[in-house]
Amino acid sequence: MNRWLTRRWPAPHWPSVRGRGRTDAGALLLTAAVIAAVALLAGAVPALLRAAADNAVQDTVRRAGHDSNVLVHANWERDDGPTGGRFRISRLAEDVDDFRARATYTLGPDLDAALLPPIAVVHGPILNVTDGNLPRTFQLTYLAGDLEGPAVTWIAGSAPGPAVPEQSIEIPYDGPPWPVQVGLSEADAAALNLGPGDRIPVQDGQGRDKDVRISGIYRPADSADPAWRLAPALLRPVPGADGVGTTRFAGLLSRESLPDARLAFDEDQLRRTVHFAPEPDVLTWDATATLAGQVVKLKAASGSSGVRDQSLKWESQLDTVLRDARTQISAASAQAAVLLAGVLTTTVLVLLLAADLLVRRRTPALSAARQRGAALPDLGAELIIESTVLSLSAAAVGLALARAAVPGVSWTWTVPVVLAGAVAGPAFGTLVAARASRDRRQPANPAARRWILATGQLRRAAVEAAVLIAAVAAFVTLHRRGLLPVASAGDTGELTGDLVLPISAVALGVLAGALVVLRLLPAGVRFALRQSLRSRRPLAVFGAARAATTAGRALPLLALVSATALASFALVVGTTVARGLVDGAWNTVGADARLDVSVDAEAATPALAERIAAAPGVEQVVVAQVTDSARIFTESTLLTPRLVVVDTAAFQRLLATTPLPDAPALAQITAPGPGPVDVPALVRSSDGDLRTGTRLQLPRDGAPAIRLAAVGTAPSFGGASDVVIVDAAALADAGLPAVPNTVWVTGPGAARAVSNSGVAADVVLRADVLRAQRVAPLTAGVLRLAWTAAAVLLALGLLGLTLAAAASASERWQTLTRLRTLGLRPRDARWVAAGELLPPVVVAAVCGPLFGALLAHLTLGPLELRLLTGQATDPAAALPWWLFGLVSVALLAAAAAVVPVESALRRRDRLSEVLRAGG
């Protein structure tokens, strides 16, 4: 008969299971507590990250501002009249309404739900204000939401009306400028010094006069209405929008004056656009892939801009913004996964130590049971039932606690811990029971003994080689592939199977390092023993002898080195992010405080700077003219970098006395340029358009462009990807004196000094920026996880040390008791015990932080921490040596405490009992 048919099922002996459980309740509860605590962490972290991911998506979209808007353009229907002229389309505003409705319908329900109600904007071309010497521009703008445009109060005059009373009229193409009425904001009207009924002196790019009349002066009912953000010049003059030193004004069109605006310009010059701004509060991480995909589809389905029809032409950076958010979240998830993998690895090792301790305590009972005839399957079944119930229950408690704290917990990460808890004890216990009934005497034949030794060494070498190969493969994968999920159509943003290896790189690296140490430690201890044998100190000999006896034990050393190394790694991650945020804040603000002076107050900037410099606690004040999206031409392209015109010497001093990176190249822009009329400039660009040696032109209104020569690389500046830095004096010599609009201030009194500046200016404080970055959802989440992981790993290390000491205590005190029979004094016995315990602890305390630092150095690049810190480049690993010292000291202190505690516990044991127990 088939032996499988006759084999009986294991029959656990329940009284034994209960008895062992009662006897070892403490050790079992400790195991359960470890599993529950780590299950709580491993269950809660993915859920917390998911919640942080939603916040991060919303935060990123908010920060992106207009870049995340979805825009759609469409050409107008032709206005050719029946007699060869242009026809005034009186229903033009209704046409815009139809266009907006058509665009909204095309969006589809998902995008529609994620976007705010649309606002249609009609812009005229940029006109030049011809009155006065200052470069000023003017633009006609029409705004229309679902109901009306943004509400205004006419404080003088009235809303713009039609130019002619007739509804339908045809005008010749080459007729005089068609009149159009606009309203002006109070600020614009004051700056232009014009009022109702006045004609604004403007010309188009071809120098043709335009007949733009002011019907009235308005005051916005709500200046925070989102519609105004699409045309801020409708509220107040906007500096720099059309080039360095220019100021843009805008005139508000009404439904009635819109048809006239079309006739006032060439047929295609009036452009209509519908703006959909995202509603950040309704955006979720889950929806990002779908929304980004739909935006891409809309853009792909857009009609060609060259085709003269009324098809919709979509334009948006929302897909890029959402993709960037997803990338940032994926990076944070991967960083969290790396930290969690470290915690789980150490937990598994600590659980193996706990199982080892439990089985050592149970060895007499298990051996006796086996010798009395208990079958191994029965014993194994008893042990696995106990450990499975314990592990699953503990994990369930941990996950339940996690669920109470945050909904949507994940159990995936708890699997290794539960498996280790369920399997380790039964495996060790069954081996012990099997050994009890096996003749394990050493063979008399030396060749047989050598064979057994070689087999054991081969087995160990195979395991070690497997770990080393896995670690190398993990690092190669990490560096070649990175940690971010590969973008694909089915990308769910979850961590996929192909990421298991790179995510485990740090943990595998630590294990590989610990295995190397494990190989070296016995040799080191044997060397110490040889040295001590030459000494006259008996305690050193016995301590070293005990250490040499136990130095080959793998589990304690692996657990201790892993815990300290991974805790140190987590500390490096946390410190690097924290320091990166500080650097990022310096980079964003450029000083302790920055004043962005409004255009009205620009003239007062030098005096303001002097006043601030005299304030108490102010160390340095640097003024500059900073123009975002300045128009600069290369030989073939128009670029829009950030142009910084600054007093180079003062700027260099600022860089030298702050954590901002020094820029030795700045010295080059105070020297004469390569050509007689070239102004030297430093340049930086993300895509290589701006390189050293490039010739640039800075256009001016009514004057020849200023030639710039890129002579070096500009420092990273305020997070801008493209930067051009020019010396203020050199630019003034070339004919363009700077109008400073930015004041950088350093010193402890900087914040107070700029807050009391008394001019119209935006105040940006480094402390505020840093605070905002620190509380950003993903950054705060990863930082918190890094510190928590470090604390948990340290706690696991201390627990591992205690468990390892407890597991070897019986054997250690047997030996010490035998030494006591030779005359060793009780207090000397403690030194011998310390001598045994200290080597692996010292090795872990020294090598752990070094491994952590080394692994951080090797992996911080692929970890993409810059995505959290907002730095331009990957941050260098910040090594918190004093925290490393704390980790080491904690471990050494615990080891130092173990001996007296163990000694106090053993004091009650009579020597005779210890010897009797030891056989």
Partner 1 sequence: MSSEPLLRVRGVHRRFRTGPTVVHALRGVSFDVAAGSMVALVGRSGSGKTTLLNTIGGLDRPDAGTVHVDGTDVTSLDEDGLSRLRREKVSYVFRNFGLIPVLSAAENVAAPLRLARVTPAERERRVELLLELVGLADHARQRPAELSGGQQQRVAIARALAASPRLLIADEPTGQLDAETGLSVMALLRGVVESEGVTALVSTHDPVMMALADRVIRIHDGHLDEEATGQPDESVPDAG
Smallest separation, CB 381 to partner 1 (Å): 31
207 binds partner 1 (CB under 8 A): no
The smaller minimum CB distance to partner 1, of residues 277 and 548, is found at: 548
In angstroms, the CA 415 to CA 284 distance is 28
**Is beta strand 247-252 parallel, antiparallel or unpaired with respect to 136-144?**
parallel
617 binds partner 1 (CB under 8 A): no
Measuring CA to CA, which residue among 664, 668, 643 is closest to residue 652?
664
Q: And the tokens for 132?
A: 């006065």
The smaller minimum CB distance to partner 1, of residues 159 and 807, is found at: 807
In angstroms, the CA 589 to CA 754 distance is 13
Burial 374-405 (b: 16+ CB within 10 A, else e): beeebbbbbbbbbbbebbeebbbbbbebbeee
The smaller minimum CB distance to partner 1, of residues 533 and 614, is found at: 533
818 binds partner 1 (CB under 8 A): yes
**Is beta strand 119-123 parallel, antiparallel or unpaired with respect to 180-185?**
unpaired
Q: Which stretch binds partner 1 (CB under 8 A): 269-277, 415-423, 540-548, 895-903?
A: 540-548
528 binds partner 1 (CB under 8 A): no
The contacts found for 145-148 with CB under 8 angstroms, 24 or more apart, are 145/117, 145/118, 145/119, 145/120, 145/227, 146/100, 146/117, 146/118
Smallest separation, CB 796 to partner 1 (Å): 30
The smaller minimum CB distance to partner 1, of residues 11 and 448, is found at: 448
In angstroms, the CA 726 to CA 710 distance is 10
Q: Using CB under 8 A, which of 132, 664, 826, 885 touches partner 1?
A: 826
Q: Which stretch binds partner 1 (CB under 8 A): 97-105, 203-211, 394-402, 911-919?
A: 911-919
In angstroms, the CA 334 to CA 862 distance is 10
Q: Using CB under 8 A, which of 85, 303, 538, 861 touches partner 1?
A: 538
919 binds partner 1 (CB under 8 A): yes
Smallest separation, CB 545 to partner 1 (Å): 5
Helix axes 538-550 and 826-863, enclosed angle (nearest 10)? 50
325 binds partner 1 (CB under 8 A): no
Q: Which stretch binds partner 1 (CB under 8 A): 130-138, 401-409, 657-665, 813-821?
A: 813-821
Q: Reading across the β-sheet that carries 742-746, which strands appear in turn?
A: 638-639, 632-633, 695-700, 703-713, 679-684, 723-727, 642-646, 620-627, 742-746, 593-597, 761-765
Smallest separation, CB 918 to partner 1 (Å): 7
The smaller minimum CB distance to partner 1, of residues 8 and 908, is found at: 908
**DSSP single-letter state for residue 318:** H
533 binds partner 1 (CB under 8 A): yes
911 binds partner 1 (CB under 8 A): yes
The smaller minimum CB distance to partner 1, of residues 161 and 538, is found at: 538
Is 292 within 8 Å of 445 (Cβ atoms)? Answer: no
Q: Which stretch binds partner 1 (CB under 8 A): 36-44, 199-207, 270-278, 532-540?
A: 532-540
824 binds partner 1 (CB under 8 A): yes
530 binds partner 1 (CB under 8 A): no
In angstroms, the CA 130 to CA 203 distance is 7
802 binds partner 1 (CB under 8 A): no
Q: And the tokens for 515?
A: 């295995």
Q: Using CB under 8 A, which of 120, 436, 819, 837 touches partner 1?
A: 819
Q: Which stretch binds partner 1 (CB under 8 A): 85-93, 319-327, 621-629, 819-827?
A: 819-827
Q: Which stretch binds partner 1 (CB under 8 A): 126-134, 275-283, 598-606, 812-820?
A: 812-820
What 3-state DSSP class applies to 157? strand
In angstroms, the CA 15 to CA 13 distance is 6
Is 839 within 8 Å of 552 (Cβ atoms)? Answer: no
The smaller minimum CB distance to partner 1, of residues 511 and 819, is found at: 819
The smaller minimum CB distance to partner 1, of residues 497 and 919, is found at: 919
Q: Using CB under 8 A, which of 126, 171, 582, 915 touches partner 1?
A: 915
The smaller minimum CB distance to partner 1, of residues 54 and 836, is found at: 836
The smaller minimum CB distance to partner 1, of residues 33 and 915, is found at: 915
In angstroms, the CA 338 to CA 341 distance is 5
Q: Which stretch binds partner 1 (CB under 8 A): 392-400, 531-539, 605-613, 795-803?
A: 531-539
The smaller minimum CB distance to partner 1, of residues 549 and 629, is found at: 549
CA–CA distances in Å: residue 333 to residues 246, 340, 523, 545, 566: 45, 10, 41, 47, 18
The smaller minimum CB distance to partner 1, of residues 10 and 522, is found at: 522
The smaller minimum CB distance to partner 1, of residues 403 and 818, is found at: 818
The smaller minimum CB distance to partner 1, of residues 83 and 912, is found at: 912
Q: Using CB under 8 A, which of 285, 542, 813, 851 touches partner 1?
A: 542
Per-position x/- string for 123-152, each x denoting binding to partner 1 as judged by CB under 8 A, each - no binding: ------------------------------
Smallest separation, CB 452 to partner 1 (Å): 13
825 binds partner 1 (CB under 8 A): yes
Q: And the tokens for 759?
A: 């001019």
Beta bridge partners of 210: 202
Neighbours of 606 (CB within 10 A): 13
Neighbours of 435 (CB within 10 A): 13
Smallest separation, CB 902 to partner 1 (Å): 17
Smallest separation, CB 832 to partner 1 (Å): 11
**Is beta strand 136-144 parallel, antiparallel or unpaired with respect to 127-129?**
antiparallel
Measuring CA to CA, which residue among 892, 883, 793, 803 is closest to residue 839?
892
Per-position x/- string for 547-586, each x denoting binding to partner 1 as judged by CB under 8 A, each - no binding: -xx-------------------------------------
Smallest separation, CB 543 to partner 1 (Å): 11
445 binds partner 1 (CB under 8 A): no
Is 398 within 8 Å of 45 (Cβ atoms)? Answer: no
The smaller minimum CB distance to partner 1, of residues 234 and 824, is found at: 824
815 binds partner 1 (CB under 8 A): yes
271 phi, psi to nearest 5 deg:
-115, 135
Q: Using CB under 8 A, which of 517, 529, 593, 899 touches partner 1?
A: 529
Smallest separation, CB 810 to partner 1 (Å): 14
CA–CA distances in Å: residue 662 to residues 586, 588, 594, 653, 764: 13, 15, 19, 9, 22
Measuring CA to CA, which residue among 842, 825, 350 is closest to residue 547?
842
821 binds partner 1 (CB under 8 A): yes
271 binds partner 1 (CB under 8 A): no
Smallest separation, CB 374 to partner 1 (Å): 24
Measuring CA to CA, which residue among 780, 783, 796 is closest to residue 510?
796
Burial 178-198 (b: 16+ CB within 10 A, else e): bbbbbbbbebbbebbebebee
In angstroms, the CA 547 to CA 354 distance is 21
258 binds partner 1 (CB under 8 A): no
The smaller minimum CB distance to partner 1, of residues 488 and 912, is found at: 912
Q: And the tokens for 791?
A: 């604390």
Neighbours of 653 (CB within 10 A): 15
Task: Give the binding-site size for partner 1 (rule: CB under 8 A).
Answer: 27
Instruction: Write out the residues near partner 1 by the rule CB under 8 A.
Output: 526, 529, 533, 536, 538, 541-542, 545, 548-549, 815, 818-826, 910-912, 915-916, 918-919
